[in-house]
Amino acid sequence: MTSLRDVAERAQVAVSTVSAALNGTRPVKAETKRRIERAAAELGYRPNLLARGLVSKRTRILALLFPPPGSGFGLTEMQFATGAAEAAAELGYHLLLSPESADPVEELRYLTGMGLVDGVLLMEVRLADERTDFLLESGTPFAMIGRTREPGSLDYADIDFARTARDAVAHLAGLGHRAIALLNHSTGAYSPGYGPAVRAGEEFAAAAREAGLWYAGDVRADTAGEGRLAFERLMAEHPEVTAVAAMSDQAAVGVLQAVEERGWRVPGDLSLLLASASARVAEMFRPRLTTLEPPGAELGRLGARMLIDRLESPGSPPAQRLVPCRLVIGDSSAPPRGSGAAR
Amino acid sequence: MTSLRDVAERAQVAVSTVSAALNGTRPVKAETKRRIERAAAELGYRPNLLARGLVSKRTRILALLFPPPGSGFGLTEMQFATGAAEAAAELGYHLLLSPESADPVEELRYLTGMGLVDGVLLMEVRLADERTDFLLESGTPFAMIGRTREPGSLDYADIDFARTARDAVAHLAGLGHRAIALLNHSTGAYSPGYGPAVRAGEEFAAAAREAGLWYAGDVRADTAGEGRLAFERLMAEHPEVTAVAAMSDQAAVGVLQAVEERGWRVPGDLSLLLASASARVAEMFRPRLTTLEPPGAELGRLGARMLIDRLESPGSPPAQRLVPCRLVIGDSSAPPRGSGAAR
């Protein structure tokens, strides 16, 4: 039988450090902890996580609640998951992928009632999110990727929509555009309380106002068909608009169809941006679209780290981080039509 | 304190059924099990998973090993994960997302040595995969999404490459194409032993031979730049090729660039297919590309179910399932250039 002492020798640390690392009784540097866990594994030492969990009441398992497929879950959301799983692994934790049912609070009650997870990571957070109420009442540690309307002292990592909108508007204003539109999410897939849609709408409006641009914000589309119709309506009502940023990449497909049908071209007749898509997605379009790339993996990593910090130092101050999207300039943004510069 | 009896009454089953469901001592119908677990949660009955795990030696946790980001991990692979997590949840299991390190076998030793997981789901399986050797030797139950060269009696769910290739080739032959090419993965991101690349190559060659088409199979590209060069080289050496299927969507971007540079058009001058991408990705291209959509969620679900069956009925015969990609016809496949039909 391998003993704690054997593990300590192999990892070249004190026995008390091995015990602390394996039982989570006091903080041990992540790198040291990892070395100890590897030494234990190499020697076939079975700390028995279950027995440890009974004593420490901790499992070192975090749950990430993810939305059901067909809800628009895409590459960015996948990056939340993989980023969080990697950050958790680096700190000696495990990430459980928990699909959400129609009743997320009941799901949470089930999940936390089993003693399986130490804490919960939320994503697709709504402005008023009943899940946070349940987690607060039940005393379950949690962190959010995204945030509620008034996150108060809750831990979160979210997109810096204000800075992202300013960067995008500055790019368009710099090219000479005077009237722009945000093609926001429609209320189909995303109900009215969906945080990113509301915040993007507010912040694009504010950034346009500050930059002195005319702004159409009440245009919505999530599918190619909706995007095509919404763009046609926009052009009928506001022919002065020369640049559009689309929140949904599917809606952007529809805008491109409508542009083609009018015999127009991107970017000569219309500048088209993706408001929330990876450069990899933007590159598939012809022309390659300018995009605001969300920091998916970084937000996932930050969320997991915050939650682990909260578990290990319950009394620490709230961790709240905003990270802007990265403006990746493609071939779809140029001076406005009629300016003489783009033709 | 809530008792087993209270749970049994609420769930309207016998006490022994509650015990069997919560302790995993004998099989209980998934639906009944779920009802019991919900009743337990509603009553605040804490079966204490950890204590149960100590007795039953089972945690009902499955690990899905996933490749590091930047390895080409995309929507399909995400669907493996979410499909597997959902199937696991339906059967009362949990899915742990385990990022792979540079040394996957060491990672597996660590993961299985902790007593945390009942079994392992592998993805991105290579033709010769050292992970399967370790899992077999250590007696860890596992199932594969993908398969090794000779899976023997191992459980797996994989793409039916033979049928997928036949469907694609039949589509092109039906349009009148006589010479086609597969733009396979390059050896950069995917080393030579990557199963899907090898199988797709073999099966496209076989399907083309059967259909009496000339076939170029040794063209490889994973990036837009590689795709552009590979296509130019292909046209220089084999100007008779009128249709190309690309394994990588990035490589397809490069082919479209090269087509444009020659003053050609898709599909009039070249039919272009995605050999492994979702309809959602194919729709972002202009024109919308014809694609072979991999059954990502279904393979994830099948893999998780097989692994759970293996855990609950260790002696059952091997479960091996092949599912073809779905041919989704877009605007990028048409009769070959010079045929007079497409212009």
- Per-residue model confidence as pLDDT tens digits over B256-300: 999 999 999 999 999 999 999 988 889 888 889 999 999 999 999
Using the predicted structure, report yes or no on whether residue B201 has a pLDDT greater than 90.
Answer: yes
| A-B Cβ pairs (cutoff 8 Å, strict) | 147
Using the predicted structure, report yes or no on whether residue B120 has a pLDDT greater than 70.
Answer: yes
Q: Which two tokens stand for residue A340?
A: 């003489």
Residue B287 and residue B269 share a domain: yes
Residue B337 lies in a domain: no
Q: What SS3 class is residue A330? A: coil
Q: Which amino acid is at A243?
A: A
- Cβ B41–A98 below 8 Å, yes or no? no
Close Cβ partners of B193 (under 8 Å, ≥ 6 residues apart): B126, B127, B128
Confidence band of B343 (pLDDT split at 50, 70, 90) = very low
Enumerate the residues of chain B whose CB falls inside 8 A of the CB of residue A49.
114-116
Residue A287 and residue A178 share a domain: yes
- Cβ A82–B66 below 8 Å, yes or no? yes
Residue B231 to chain A, least CA–CA distance (Å): 17
Residue B74 and residue B114 share a domain: yes
- Partners of B323 in the β-ladder: B159
Specify the pLDDT at position B62: 94
10 Å Cβ neighbour count for A152? 10
Start-to-end C-alpha separation, chain B: 78
State how beta strands A156-159 and A142-145 pair: parallel
Confidence band of B212 (pLDDT split at 50, 70, 90) = very high
- Cβ A85–B95 below 8 Å, yes or no? no
State how beta strands B61-66 and B94-99 pair: parallel
Q: Percent of chain B at pLDDT above 70?
A: 90
DSSP conformational letter for B126: B
Task: Tell me what the mean pLDDT of segment B85-90 comes to.
Answer: 87
Closest CA to B157 of B302, B10, B312: B302
Using the predicted structure, report yes or no on whether residue B321 has a pLDDT greater than 80.
Answer: yes
pLDDT in single tens digits along all 343 residues of chain A: 567 788 889 999 988 788 778 766 677 888 888 888 888 878 877 555 555 555 556 778 899 988 765 555 567 778 888 899 989 988 888 899 888 777 788 778 877 876 778 999 999 888 989 999 999 998 999 999 999 999 999 999 999 999 999 999 999 999 999 999 999 988 644 566 788 888 999 999 999 999 999 999 889 998 899 999 999 999 999 999 999 999 998 899 999 999 999 999 999 999 999 999 988 889 888 889 999 999 999 999 999 999 999 999 988 999 999 999 999 999 999 999 988 654 4
Q: Given A46, A61, A73, which is nearest B115 (Cβ)?
A: A46
Q: Which two tokens stand for residue B300?
A: 């994830």
Which of B140, B286, B293, B298 would you mutate first to test chain A, the one with the most A CBs within 10 A? B286
Q: Which two tokens stand for residue B96?
A: 């742990």
- Cβ A285–B285 below 8 Å, yes or no? yes
- Partners of A159 in the β-ladder: A323
- Cβ B253–A283 below 8 Å, yes or no? yes
Greater confidence, B182 or B4?
Answer: B182
Specify the pLDDT at position A342: 45
- Cβ A256–B286 below 8 Å, yes or no? yes
Please give the Cα distance from B252 to B227 (Å, whole number).
Answer: 6
- Is B221 in contact with B186 (CB distance < 8 Å)? yes
- Cβ A79–B95 below 8 Å, yes or no? no
How far CA A333 is from CA of A173, A176, A278, B9, B11, in Å, comes to 11, 11, 16, 65, 60
State how beta strands A243-246 and A214-220 pair: unpaired
Total structural domains in chain A? 3
Residue B45 and residue B32 share a domain: yes
Residue A152 and residue A300 share a domain: yes
Please give the Cα distance from B235 to A214 (Å, whole number).
Answer: 49
Domain range for B314 is 61-159+296-327
Residue A80 and residue A48 share a domain: no
Please give the Cα distance from B61 to B144 (Å, whole number).
Answer: 16
- Is A163 in contact with A225 (CB distance < 8 Å)? no
Q: Given B69, B81, B286, which is nearest A285 (Cβ)?
A: B286
Residue A283 and residue A173 share a domain: yes
R_g over Cα of chain B: 24
Enumerate the residues of chain B whose CB falls inside 8 A of the CB of residue A295.
none
**Where does a domain end: A19, A34, A56?**
A56
Q: What SS3 class is residue B75? A: helix
Best mean pLDDT range from A68-72, B12-16, B133-137: B133-137
Please give the Cα distance from B288 to B292 (Å, whole number).
Answer: 13
Q: Given A51, A284, A297, which is nearest B69 (Cβ)?
A: A297
R_g over Cα of chain A: 24
Enumerate the residues of chain A whose CB falls inside 8 A of the CB of residue B110.
37-38, 41
Please give the Cα distance from A143 to A149 (Å, whole number).
Answer: 15
**Which residue in B has a C-alpha nearest to residue A296's C-alpha?**
B69
Specify the pLDDT at position B72: 54
Q: Percent of chain B at pLDDT above 90?
A: 52
**Which residue in A has a C-alpha nearest to residue B111's C-alpha?**
A41
Specify the pLDDT at position B223: 87
Q: Which two tokens stand for residue A36?
A: 């100890």
Residue B117 to chain A, least CA–CA distance (Å): 10
Specify the pLDDT at position A104: 82
Close Cβ partners of A237 (under 8 Å, ≥ 6 residues apart): none
Residue A301 and residue A155 share a domain: yes
Residue A204 lies in a domain: yes
How far CA A40 is from CA of A34, A43, B218, in Å, comes to 10, 5, 47
Please give the Cα distance from B193 to B191 (Å, whole number).
Answer: 6
DSSP run (H or E) holding A98: strand A94-99
Q: Which two tokens stand for residue A294?
A: 């969300």
Residue A194 lies in a domain: yes
**Which residue in A has a C-alpha nearest to residue B257's C-alpha?**
A286
- Is B304 in contact with B89 (CB distance < 8 Å)? no
Q: Which amino acid is at B341?
A: A
Sheet harboring A179-184: ordered strands across? A214-220, A179-184, A243-246, A271-274, A290-293, A326-328
**Which residue in A has a C-alpha nearest to residue B39's C-alpha?**
A110
Residue A43 sits in a domain of what CATH number? 1.10.260.40
Residue B322 lies in a domain: yes
- Is A324 in contact with A160 (CB distance < 8 Å)? yes
Q: Tell me the backbone φ, ψ of residue A94, rounded to 5 degrees.
A: -125, 145
**Which residue in B has a C-alpha nearest to residue A110's C-alpha?**
B41
Please report where in the chains the tokens 């491109």 appear, as a residue: A256
Which of B2, B52, B78, B90 would you mutate first to test chain A, the one with the most A CBs within 10 A? B78
Q: What is the DSSP string of A230-292?
A: HHHHHHHH-TT--EEEESSHHHHHHHHHHHHHTT--TTTT-EEEESS--HHHHTTSSSPPEEE
Q: What SS3 class is residue B330? A: coil
Residue A97 and residue A127 share a domain: yes
Confidence band of B216 (pLDDT split at 50, 70, 90) = very high
Closest CA to B245 of B146, B334, B163, B165: B165
- Is A59 in contact with A262 (CB distance < 8 Å)? no
Task: Tell me what the mean pLDDT of segment B108-129 comes to.
Answer: 86
Residue B234 to chain A, least CA–CA distance (Å): 22
**Which residue in B has a C-alpha nearest to residue A47's C-alpha?**
B114
Residue A285 and residue A255 share a domain: yes
Using the predicted structure, report yes or no on whether residue B185 has a pLDDT greater than 80.
Answer: yes
- Cβ B106–A38 below 8 Å, yes or no? yes
Residue B281 lies in a domain: yes
Using the predicted structure, report yes or no on whether residue B91 has a pLDDT greater than 80.
Answer: yes
- Cβ A95–B96 below 8 Å, yes or no? yes
Residue A178 lies in a domain: yes
Residue B206 to chain A, least CA–CA distance (Å): 30
Q: Given A85, A86, A115, which is nearest B46 (Cβ)?
A: A115
Residue A85 to chain B, least CA–CA distance (Å): 6
Residue B125 and residue B113 share a domain: yes
Enumerate the residues of chain B whose CB falls inside 8 A of the CB of residue A48.
114-115
Please give the Cα distance from A92 to B198 (Å, whole number).
Answer: 36
Enumerate the residues of chain B whose CB falls inside 8 A of the CB of residue A94.
96, 98, 116
Let me know how long chain A is.
343
Q: Given A78, A99, A283, which is nearest B89 (Cβ)?
A: A99
Q: What SS3 class is residue B218? A: strand
Residue B252 and residue B282 share a domain: yes
- Cβ B280–A94 below 8 Å, yes or no? no
Specify the pLDDT at position B20: 78
Enumerate the residues of chain B whose CB falls inside 8 A of the CB of residue A225.
none
Enumerate the residues of chain A whose CB falls inside 8 A of the CB of residue B249.
284
Residue B336 lies in a domain: no
Here the ipTM equals 0.72
Task: Tell me what the mean pLDDT of segment B162-170 comes to.
Answer: 97
Task: Tell me what the mean pLDDT of segment B244-249 comes to.
Answer: 94
Please report where in the chains the tokens 């970017």 appear, as a residue: A267
Residue B264 lies in a domain: yes
Residue A287 sits in a domain of what CATH number? 3.40.50.2300
Enumerate the residues of chain A whose CB falls inside 8 A of the CB of residue B96.
61, 94-97
Q: What is the DSSP string of A149-190?
A: SS-TT--EEEE-HHHHHHHHHHHHHHHT--EEEEEE--TTTS
Specify the pLDDT at position A189: 46
Specify the pLDDT at position B25: 63
Please give the Cα distance from B148 to B144 (Å, whole number).
Answer: 9
